[in-house]
Structure 1
Amino acid sequence: MSKLLNKWYKNHSLVYKILLFAVTTSFIVYLFPKTGKFRYSFEKGKPWQSENLYAPFDFAIKKNQDEIDAETKALKDNTPIYFNIDPTVEEKVISDYVERFKLVFGDSLSSLSRTKFFNIGQDLIEELYETGVVDSKYNYSPNRTVNIIESNTIKKEVEFGLLFEKSELKSKLNSAYEAIEDGQSKNRLIALFFDIIESNLTLNSELSESALKEAVDNISLTRGSIEKETLIVSKGQVVEQEQYNILNSLKSEYESQVWNSQNYNLVVLSYTLLVALALLMLLLFLQKYRREVFENNTKVTFIFFNIALIILLTTIVINYNSQYIYVVPLCVLPLVLKAFFDARLGLFAHVLTVLLLGFIVPNSNEYIFLQIIAGIVTILTVSELYKRANLFISVGQITFIYIIAYFAFFVIHEGQINNLKWETFGLFILCGLATLFVQPLIYIYEKLFGLVSDVSLLELSDTNTKLLKELSNKAPGTFHHSLNVANLAEASANEIGANAMLVRVGALYHDIGKMKNPTYFTENQSTGINPHEELSSRESAKIIIDHVINGIEIAKRNNLPDRVIDFIRTHHGTSAVYYFYRTEKAKNDDVDIKDFSYPGPKPFSKETAILMMCDSVEAASKSLKEPTSSKLNDFVENIVNKQLETGQFLNANITFKEIQSIKKVLKLKLANIYHLRIEYPE
């Protein structure tokens, strides 16, 4: 049992990666739709590229949205509306008419005229209330059917145009009394009607809306059907509107059909295999090309977390409304990974993420092309993320590429730009604005995962930081040495394309361990007294070597990032303190050089290798007397070649060509420091 536990403990890092791999795969598969995916892609107006397609089963042809909208509009225009009738209104109006007519006219008219006027008015009232008088003006079609309801029963059906509106009363009265020549009597009659006419019909909005809703709900979503084995489209045939509708119906039916448990399990298994394959490619990439990242579980977790987060956000947006799919700032992923690692890893992870999203997004081919192009532009344009202007400019370029690519796809699909969806351009602009959130996101990630970005490196490079101020006060010579090394290292990194900001910060902090015993290092000995004269060679060597350990302890107490602490660990590699070693060896031949060597590790990156070369050259250059160009050349060659011979750069991914370029930079910089000119032959 103990052997098994020991074996598990030794391989705990690998076990963790396996668990992380399994959990991330399961989470992503959980987000994916659990139905089959239609394997054919097609576009309206384009030739069918696959083989002849026959219906695999019976299915109904679904109406497109335009057809459904047209039917809905027709129902809204033609569905009967309901009005409630008040039967007492007509009786009241007639009664009021009789009384008011007597009061208005009395005996002022002849019996014949009074009878004539009265009968005309009575006939008009009967005509008005035969169909009904509505209470207000409505914008219904004159041909719209109206159901008149009395006591919850439909009394009659009429056309809306036959109903009378009170606003039409004057014209109606003028027409009815057109034959009356007595203008005064005519006006009195019209005024009388304006006083007594009341509406007897009120709209029953609840019943009308309910009837319309029922009619809309009963709209058939299909028209016709296709039988199994029916030829749908032939190879090379242009997909016209009808075939396009049929293909969409088949796709929808295929992806929405009820799956039995066996089919469901097969779909889930297939998704799992594909997702696992994509994530496995990422792990293999890390193992082969980014070994230091692969061996750091925190960094691997960080990468997997960001991929899963992007897929989660995209899934949420699709479930809410797939039209907003382009609002998701997918380019944040390569930006974040480039900020913490490098461009190649950022692009690789971005491409894999986009390929995975292709399973769940609509128009997957278009989406994949757009996002991969945007990711490439992100990697190519965003440099020096710590400069705010660069981020704004790059986001503008990314948004512009989105718009150009989408415009091209739209023209390819539609063949014209009349129906161009301008609101989609607004979504791209929102996506660009959301991408700007990468700055605070990087800060959050630094705190959560303990990583360091160029933004933090810029802050650490400020010589007014508390730690560097302390170094300049306690060990001014070391501080000056660190500044010189930083300048040499930055120039060397720029020459070979390494991370100049990282190596500069590493150079500024690489010797902070000397603050513990500053006078034991020659650059800080201003009084001419050498404390090593009172110590043995072993004691002196231990103090010199311990500045690495002390530096690591000081860096951790001050919460310096691990990427910076790596420079403290490796800037001497496993080299020996030769002066004290030779002094001890002169006294005693039985001396182990390991007792006078730094504990390491050796530099394991271009940046740490650059610092080792620059640190050694800058420190040793102080001992040069009457330097000349030839002396400086030999001096740099000897120091760097000795480091090569002792295998200090075996673990660093640096080439001989790059080392030669660094030598050239160091020679040029030292010549500038000592104000040397080219030596001409006499």
Structure 2
Amino acid sequence: MSQKSNKKQTALNNRYIRLGLFLLLGVLLYVSTFNNVVPEQLDISLSEPAPQDIRSPITIEHEEQTAERRREAVATIDPVYTLQTHYATTQTDKVNAIFDLAITLQSEMEEESEEADEPPSTDEQVEYMQDALSENVDQSISSATIETLLTSSNQELRTARDVARNAIFEVMNDGISVDQVPTAREEAEERVSRSITSSRMQSAVSEITTSLVTANYIYDDEATNEQVELAVSEVDPVLIREGQLLAQEGEVIGPEAYEQMRLVGLLDDSTSLYPYIGLLIFVGLLLLLLQLYMMQTSAPIHNSNKYLLLYVIVFVVMLVIMNLQSLIIQFDLTGVMWLTPMALGPMLLAQLINYRVALFSATLFAITGSIIFSHAAASSFHSSFLIYAILSGFAGVFFIGKQPRISKVLQAGIFVALINGLAVTLLHMLNNQQVVFQTYGNEVSFAVLSGFLSAILSLGLLPFFETGFNILSKTKLIELTNANQPLLRKILLEAPGTYHHSVMVANLSEAASEAIGANGLLARVGAYYHDLGKTKNPMYFIENQMQIENPHDRLPPERSKQIIIDHPYDGAAILEKHNFPKEIVDIAKEHHGTTLLKFFYYKAKEQGKEPVESEYRYPGPRAQFKESAIIGIADSVEAAVRSMPNPTEEKIRNLVDAIIRDRLVDQQFNECDITLKELATVADSMCETLKGTFHSRIEYPDDEQGEVKENE
């Protein structure tokens, strides 16, 4: 199989491992929170005493009571009636139409009588007018009334019309409801009787008038419905609220309380899948957020399965601690929930992985904890614990900071204890709880102890993680800078020149790394140990040759180049033997990359040999990360500047630029992600550092001879 195929298969395997770790974390999350979402079922019957205080786990509407309240509200609404003022005009128009039709019909009958031999009979005239009234006026009156109208003079008809109109208009000028219609018709009939003396015409006009008097104060269905809708909308739904006390311990369960328990699901024997599906969605969302965050972070968890496994283990440690603590709560010890060391996970992650990862994870731990401790609340989430856990976790991360030290962990414990105590206090106040000093004192005491417990557990677990995963944490890096570290003392005692060179390289590398946003502390520690391999043959390296003959003068170039080429790998082997972090080992291997040993290569040529260039190159690998590349540059720069006579700022700048340019042309940076802009920044930083080290010399006059001597 080709090398390309091997790399592809390795990447595929890494993805499978990563997926497996995510699935493992998801399963553990689901299992650890499963019992906390199982709906609580009460074995209780009507008219029995409550075995404990029973509270609603959810907020739900009591639909039956809400409907009853709305029915009561609707019952208080009176029907809305509206005065239809135009009804009077409409009815008087009908009066006009009836009398006009009678006058017109009389006129037509007279003309027909003159022309026809036999005029229409009275019955025919009555029938004709009845048809006309039905068609044109939509009004029906008796035959006797029509006969009276047809046999009266025009003057009598006009007078009768005016009487009928006035009677109808005056009576209907006021509102007439349906039940008032008979009274109104009697009043209209009385008005007619006072105005018409002829009994025959009075009877006809009374019939017409009373038939046209109608109700004009009408029930308004639309307005009534609007009032009903408004009344219904103003009725608030009857809610059984989350945490509401349904029955006190020992209280006999009445029908209303029993119904409330049924509605909130406390009496439901059937199994609902909703909580389990909801928990599955919750775990999925948490893992999705974690994956999205990992895709965007520059922390090693982004692409390292080792660090992902470390993260999963820290998460599992927090899950175990929270679940154990939730069991302790069942012993009914007041405030013991606040003893949970929620700052532990974030503090560990801040030291082992990354400051930002720790802050993000503090939120995840808090959300998970709010579910695990939900049995201490009335709902599926313990909102007070969520706030407490976030404040506690953030406090631990913020105080440890981006440059964690062991001493800071203990200080962080004190700080977290203070924040925890304040968090419990503010939760008491926000929840408007009555302060019982014994209860409040217990809760604050447990919260304060939680801060110290987080610090103690962090200090206790940190070495196990660092050793087990060979993690290069900031704390571990700081420990490796200790001058009493055995390998550092080995360099100092066996190769003092190399030790001094390494310290100079460390200064250059740290400043340059920080200038481009890389890990300056890693660069410093890597520089301290990058030449550890020189302790195997210290005298064969020029910085250790003090007033002695150079051994290479007596060796053939083939032998000399092998001694020089071996030192990075000798150092890496020693570091691996002492279980040093991989990054430090890689720096030792990579700081020379695949550069050419020019001195011995050209020396071999001068001796008339035909050396193979590849044999005079370091085997590599080239620098794989920025800090390694910077240390390689600093190593060459320091050695070159140290051997430079009378270094000046301009000479140093030209030398630094030449070394970087030479490595760039030699493709030594092809396998790391350092950019040309960052290389320019590295050059500027190193020149600035070297300017302070090899500063201009100041001339002092000789007191006795007046001569000048140079002092550094």
1:429 and 2:441 aligned: no
Measured in 2, the distance between the counterparts of 1:223 and 1:532 equals 88
Measured in 1, the distance between the counterparts of 2:425 and 2:663 equals 57
Deviation at 1:583, TM superposition (A): 4.8
Measured in 2, the distance between the counterparts of 1:591 and 1:289 equals 47
Match of 1:349 among 344, 355, 361: 361
Deviations 1:551-606 (A, max 9, x none): 11111122222232122122223333333445557789987654433333343444
SS of the residue aligned with 2:372?
coil
Q: Which amino acid is the alignment partner of residue 271 of structure 1? A: L
Measured in 2, the distance between the counterparts of 1:220 and 1:274 equals 31
Measured in 2, the distance between the counterparts of 1:517 and 1:562 equals 24
SS of the residue aligned with 2:371?
coil
Q: Which amino acid is the alignment partner of residue 320 of structure 2? A: L
TM-score by length of 2: 0.60
Question: 1:367 aligns to what?
Answer: 385
1:304 and 2:312 aligned: yes
Deviations 1:457-515 (A, max 9, x none): 33322233332333233322212211222233334445555444332221111101112
Match of 2:352 among 329, 333, 340: 340
Q: Which amino acid is the alignment partner of residue 29 of structure 1? A: Y
1:313 and 2:321 aligned: yes
Distance 1:252 1:605, change over 3 A: farther
1:518 and 2:531 aligned: no
Matches within 5 A, 1:65-104: none
Gaps of 5+ in 2: 70-233, 249-256, 375-380, 700-712
SS of the residue aligned with 2:431?
helix
Distance 1:321 1:580, change over 3 A: same
Question: 2:297 aligns to what?
Answer: 289
Deviation at 1:330, TM superposition (A): 1.6
Measured in 2, the distance between the counterparts of 1:61 and 1:549 equals 79
Distance 1:241 1:547, change over 3 A: closer
Q: Which amino acid is the alignment partner of residue 434 of structure 1? A: L
Distance 1:313 1:613, change over 3 A: same
Are the counterparts in 2 of residues 486 and 505 from structure 1 also a CA contact under 8 Å? yes
SS of the residue aligned with 1:358?
helix
Question: 1:668 aligns to what?
Answer: 688
More moved, 507-516 vs 555-564: 555-564
Distance 1:677 1:404, change over 3 A: farther
Question: 1:26 aligns to what?
Answer: 27
Deviation at 1:546, TM superposition (A): 1.9
Q: Which amino acid is the alignment partner of residue 23 of structure 2? A: A
Gaps of 5+ in 1: 39-56, 64-214
Q: Which amino acid is the alignment partner of residue 309 of structure 1? A: V
Question: 1:77 aligns to what?
Answer: none
1:398 and 2:416 aligned: yes
Deviations 1:364-415 (A, max 9, x none): 3333333233333333221377645433333333233333344333323218
Matches within 5 A, 1:20-419: 20-34=21-35, 36=37, 229-231=64-66, 244-245=244-245, 254=264, 263-264=272-273, 267-268=275-276, 270-290=278-298, 292-321=300-329, 323-362=335-374, 364-383=382-401, 387-414=405-432
Measured in 1, the distance between the counterparts of 2:466 and 2:385 equals 31
1:639 and 2:659 aligned: yes
Matches within 5 A, 1:561-572: 561-572=581-592
Match of 1:610 among 630, 650, 664: 630
SS of the residue aligned with 1:359?
helix
Distance 1:371 1:655, change over 3 A: farther
Q: Which amino acid is the alignment partner of residue 319 of structure 1? A: L
Distance 1:277 1:239, change over 3 A: closer
Distance 1:220 1:552, change over 3 A: closer
Distance 1:599 1:230, change over 3 A: farther
Identity across matched positions, percent: 25
Measured in 2, the distance between the counterparts of 1:271 and 1:240 equals 24
Are the counterparts in 1 of residues 604 and 610 from structure 2 also a CA contact under 8 Å? no
Q: Which amino acid is the alignment partner of residue 427 of structure 1? A: F
Deviation at 1:307, TM superposition (A): 0.4
Are the counterparts in 2 of residues 36 and 254 from structure 1 also a CA contact under 8 Å? no
Matches within 5 A, 1:475-624: 475-495=495-515, 498-583=518-603, 593-624=613-644
Are the counterparts in 2 of residues 399 and 428 from structure 1 also a CA contact under 8 Å? yes
Q: Which amino acid is the alignment partner of residue 351 of structure 1? A: T
Instruction: Count the aligned residue pairs.
Output: 504
Deviation at 1:624, TM superposition (A): 0.9
Q: Which amino acid is the alignment partner of residue 537 of structure 2? A: N
Measured in 2, the distance between the counterparts of 1:405 and 1:29 equals 28
Are the counterparts in 2 of residues 629 and 678 from structure 1 also a CA contact under 8 Å? no
Measured in 1, the distance between the counterparts of 2:45 and 2:650 equals 87
Are the counterparts in 2 of residues 60 and 223 from structure 1 also a CA contact under 8 Å? no
Q: Which amino acid is the alignment partner of residue 408 of structure 2? A: N
Q: Which amino acid is the alignment partner of residue 564 of structure 1? A: I
Measured in 2, the distance between the counterparts of 1:653 and 1:61 equals 71
Distance 1:220 1:436, change over 3 A: closer
Distance 1:645 1:401, change over 3 A: farther
Distance 1:35 1:312, change over 3 A: closer
Measured in 2, the distance between the counterparts of 1:416 and 1:604 equals 61
1:471 and 2:491 aligned: yes
Question: 2:470 aligns to what?
Answer: 450
Q: Which amino acid is the alignment partner of residue 314 of structure 1? A: M
SS of the residue aligned with 2:619?
coil
Deviation at 1:445, TM superposition (A): 2.0
More moved, 626-635 vs 246-255: 246-255
Measured in 2, the distance between the counterparts of 1:444 and 1:597 equals 40
Are the counterparts in 2 of residues 60 and 226 from structure 1 also a CA contact under 8 Å? no
Are the counterparts in 2 of residues 61 and 222 from structure 1 also a CA contact under 8 Å? no
Are the counterparts in 2 of residues 603 and 609 from structure 1 also a CA contact under 8 Å? yes
SS of the residue aligned with 1:356?
helix
